[in-house]
Structure 1
């Protein structure tokens, strides 16, 4: 299986791209010699073909092709000097001719040639985006005219964006099958700067095609891969160029911000097969120079593997100067560690640091021996609000199984995760939540994964006197419902009203994350509605009703779909005055408003807290251990020294831990409360 690299387009903003095309010292050194091109030439040209070489210059390619048996060659160039020199040099080659001629105005007959060969001429005519459009159109018209049906226009090019777009669009519009190869060229040791990949465009002329046909054939693939559009061709060629830039950078220096590299199989150019992150350790004494770490399936979103800080920690622990992390995609199947090693061994060597010995054996490793993990996709869904999302079960550390909800537009971050446990046979009849194929694993309500959720649950000790007390919580932004599941499991008298904007997500929480369990179902009410509208309606109702519905705690855990906003959680409209003022009508006298704040802009974060203080006189904040999230606890009373209140809560939390010892196995309430400080 051939692997096709793709690098994030973010890399195009670096200085390398500006110099990528400008540092050509001798144009033809980039296009390959006959030995490098002969595989493609012999594949698409036969000795009986009538061949026209346009813009031949002083290249020896025609001479070498003649010696290889391609005798019927006509060479043209606009330079009289070049034609005179080449005719004299090749006077013994009687069947090959040389003529001074303008490629935009040729005097050959219609359909005279079966092959038109172009080695850099198109690039020279369109050396920049402001190239002569009319002149190039005339050249294409002339090539189309002199080519017979079934003939091929073979164009070797460095494939700048504007060139690819122009040539592909023209010939696909004129009933040509479009195929692109990447030429395997030997690196020129005398050349400086980035060595660009060379591409060969094969345009085959038809009388009438039922639809446009685009194919790519990279990495010496034998079988072409069909793609959908000219935009895909541009994207794929661009990816090869970015990859060349990145390889050049990685071979000459260490990097701190290399973009992820995506590898596609030649059989599937839509779904990424491998995603690779390169980690270099500077100012560090490594034991090993270079290695590959295969991330177990399903665990690519864990902080240790899904963040740059986590990957660096692994590299330091393993003591590698350069460690390449490889994530596996749920859309593909893998044959095990050895099969992955066989598949990747050639490609990963391209990412090795400088001065690696030729006989260096690149070590492949993973977490826990040679086990690449297991993953089972349980459910897929798509909604108008959230887009596509996936529910999958995977085997984590120590063989423990987990279930996670992943949104397809944020594949590197998990929305919800729950641990799975063996189903109690006595409760099997009462459990309606989905489990794994053998119906033995179900969501474990005693597990809470995210640190910010743990902080919020620990904050309940600031409001609730005893964990066995009755209390009511409003959760705005149910998501997968793992925090609600945990609270229902641990606090037997807790009642939850959960508001979720997306009906599909709410259904997933019930079906796949344990909220349909009869044990909890009577204590949770899930409403599909906009959170702001729900609060407004309830506030208006409470203003006029004698029997008000009031909450002890309101949890706001909603994210913004606006990727341009510096505040990702909560959506900025939850900070408007109308919403915040409505909260007081649905909260008890001594109650709390807890929110998950995700904001990378310190000024915007300060403004959020400043606005909240207009409605909540006492606010505490705590930062999450591994993320940029912060949890804010906002209180509607101003009844004493805030620092002294923290001490009271800690004492209460210690009592809670004794009462809830069997439930709170993965975190300590007191430890988390200690992380809160006055905002």
Structure 2
């Protein structure tokens, strides 16, 4: 046991008689799982009449029985498989005559069939269903069969539970609507306590009518934001009936409400310096909005406001950069600003419709002081901006879908490649000319500008370039354009991406620019060729490690040694795009690169202070700023060129 005898060493301990005997020996005072009488009284008194015969299973040492008795319900039978707790509770409640206590296993009861009007379960099912294994499910079904057996027709099973996904699914399948059971789900969660727990009160009525097909139906007393509805408002109540041929819609409704409650609990207070990202999903689970919550220290400002970012402006400094969003909060004169971005692949009609949709959810992200107030929703002008879906398709294997879209930014049109498994990240972007063709001389990504400028500044000879990761082909094309004497070879894992680059981003292959389908790791390991520059610009599909670029295998010591040996002796340069906000992931990456190339030969550039991208350069470096082609200088633009040159002049050798 741990926690002063309250918790078992593992969750399966909750199912054992030995654990509970020891628990009740150490814990003499009442222990109230999932709330006390004050929280549960409104639910239980609405469901239980004074004349009902009530069975409380897994009663433990809770005061629930005594509370019900004092409220006028006297026909109460309590069972628990702990002899100690039954003995203690008989003695404690001896003044409440007529209430009985029996040692009994709730999966194998000794009562006659149909003798109770109500069965109350306060955490007993949760203790029994400690895991989602088949053996546990077998015991749970035995318990369900016993509940159905001892209940009279029209009787109720009232279950108080945390409602884990698998447990809620078992419960609904054990008492299906098609089997003659009516389910209503409420919550006893109390935001005033600051607790993130979202306990459920589930009432299941045993009816006589059965349906010929499997069907599940649940009536909720709270909406998908966790807000408790007025039961007299029939229009709202009808909206909260969730049904289907499987339990999935009901479980999803609970999960959305639980998530909203957890967010409300954690965001109750304004915390200057807070910069947190959230997602809003539609009923199908697709991300519809991304939200960034920004808290600033401005006591005289309004508590909260919302800012909707128009289509195409998502990458603006003010909406992408943490410092920019802090400035935006100051300009909006609010202590908390909720920055809302619309996700690619979703349809939006107009700004007013988006405001209406967002306003229903915004209170979950607002501080307590403004949840009952009207929260102002702002944007740039009265238009959502322009976004047009051009094409949608499937990536290789299980990598999901991709989207080609066109947006208008500052009167210019841009085409973007988005992977829908990570819709907030633009994989590739190209500016379109007036005739709709791709402007291949324009570099949209600052980190691409940093890569090219760094390469031009740090090595003298650029004849052979290998790029791992194609995207839309902008970087590979730019190498050929700005360094016309070099040949560029590209390795791309996904043939669909190559097709997209050819069709939508004007990728033109030639003797000077060749693209092959293959694994970049294997291509570098197997080639005998040497390259002046090797560029690694590959996104990572595994988001669990906190690094979106590159995958971990590309920064392993073994691969980096392979890569180093494929660089031109004495002059070759590795260029790698690293995108992460995890200090541990970045430190590990830098440590490995420094170990292979030598820390004195490792340099880094960041396009901006808060940019998630960092460009690493490693190799035999010889900075020569004058070697940068004038065409590259003109393409980047005067102001951006000054910033980029400042970055290169400021190239920082890492101390590891």
Question: Secondary structure, in 3 states, of the residue corresponding to 2:339?
Answer: strand
The number of equivalent residue pairs is 576
Asked if 1:555 corresponds to 2:535, the answer is yes
CA distance change for structure 1 residues 610 and 276 in 2, over 3 Å: closer, same or farther?
closer
CA distance change for structure 1 residues 236 and 194 in 2, over 3 Å: closer, same or farther?
same
CA distance change for structure 1 residues 628 and 263 in 2, over 3 Å: closer, same or farther?
closer
Q: How far is the alpha carbon of 1:365 from its aligned partner?
A: 0.8
CA distance change for structure 1 residues 159 and 458 in 2, over 3 Å: closer, same or farther?
same
Match of 1:531 in 2: 520
Match of 1:125 in 2: 124
Match of 2:17 in 1: none
Q: How far is the alpha carbon of 1:321 from its aligned partner?
A: 0.3
Q: How far is the alpha carbon of 1:100 from its aligned partner?
A: 9.3
Match of 2:427 in 1: 415
The aligned runs of 1:135-154 (5 Å cut-off) are 140-146=144-150, 153=156
Asked if 1:661 corresponds to 2:631, the answer is no
Partners of 1:25 and 1:216 lie apart in 2 by: 21
Asked if 1:461 corresponds to 2:441, the answer is no
Q: What is the RMSD of the two structures over their aligned residues, measured on CA atoms?
A: 4.9
- Deviation string 1:444-487 (CA, Å, 9 cap, x unpaired) is 22332322211111123236779xxx944221222232212333
Gap regions ≥5 residues in structure 2: 1-29, 57-63, 79-88, 224-228, 230-236
Question: Secondary structure, in 3 states, of the residue corresponding to 1:621?
Answer: strand
The aligned runs of 1:86-485 (5 Å cut-off) are 105=109, 109=113, 117=118, 121-126=120-125, 128=127, 140-146=144-150, 153=156, 155=158, 157-161=160-164, 164-165=167-168, 168=171, 171=174, 176=179, 181-183=184-186, 196=198, 198-202=200-204, 210-211=213-214, 213=216, 217=220, 218-219=222-223, 220=229, 221-223=237-239, 224-226=241-243, 236-252=253-269, 254=271, 260-264=277-281, 268-282=283-297, 284-297=298-311, 299-300=313-314, 304-305=318-319, 308=322, 310-356=324-370, 360-366=373-379, 368-384=380-396, 387-423=399-435, 441-462=436-457, 471-485=463-477
- Deviation string 1:92-142 (CA, Å, 9 cap, x unpaired) is xxxxxx9999987585655x89xx655xx2115357568898997665323
CA distance change for structure 1 residues 618 and 157 in 2, over 3 Å: closer, same or farther?
closer
Question: Secondary structure, in 3 states, of the residue corresponding to 1:487?
Answer: helix
Q: How far is the alpha carbon of 1:294 from its aligned partner?
A: 1.7
Question: Secondary structure, in 3 states, of the residue corresponding to 1:421?
Answer: coil
CA distance change for structure 1 residues 57 and 314 in 2, over 3 Å: closer, same or farther?
same
Normalised by the length of structure 2, the TM-score is 0.71
Normalised by the length of structure 1, the TM-score is 0.69
Partners of 2:500 and 2:243 lie apart in 1 by: 36
Gap regions ≥5 residues in structure 1: 1-20, 65-72, 88-97, 424-440, 543-549, 637-641
Match of 1:627 in 2: 611
Partners of 1:57 and 1:605 lie apart in 2 by: 59
Asked if 1:596 corresponds to 2:569, the answer is no
Question: Secondary structure, in 3 states, of the residue corresponding to 1:390?
Answer: strand
Q: How far is the alpha carbon of 1:527 from its aligned partner?
A: 0.4
Partners of 2:521 and 2:41 lie apart in 1 by: 64
Partners of 2:130 and 2:616 lie apart in 1 by: 58
Asked if 1:608 corresponds to 2:597, the answer is no
Q: How far is the alpha carbon of 1:215 from its aligned partner?
A: 5.2
* Contact kept in structure 2, 1:553 and 1:592, CA below 8 Å: yes
CA distance change for structure 1 residues 62 and 140 in 2, over 3 Å: closer, same or farther?
farther
CA distance change for structure 1 residues 192 and 86 in 2, over 3 Å: closer, same or farther?
farther
Q: How far is the alpha carbon of 1:364 from its aligned partner?
A: 0.5
Match of 2:568 in 1: 587
Partners of 2:33 and 2:150 lie apart in 1 by: 31
CA distance change for structure 1 residues 630 and 157 in 2, over 3 Å: closer, same or farther?
same
* Contact kept in structure 2, 1:476 and 1:557, CA below 8 Å: yes
CA distance change for structure 1 residues 193 and 385 in 2, over 3 Å: closer, same or farther?
closer
* Contact kept in structure 2, 1:277 and 1:324, CA below 8 Å: yes
- Return the structure number with greater relative CO, CA threshold 8 A, min gap 6: 1
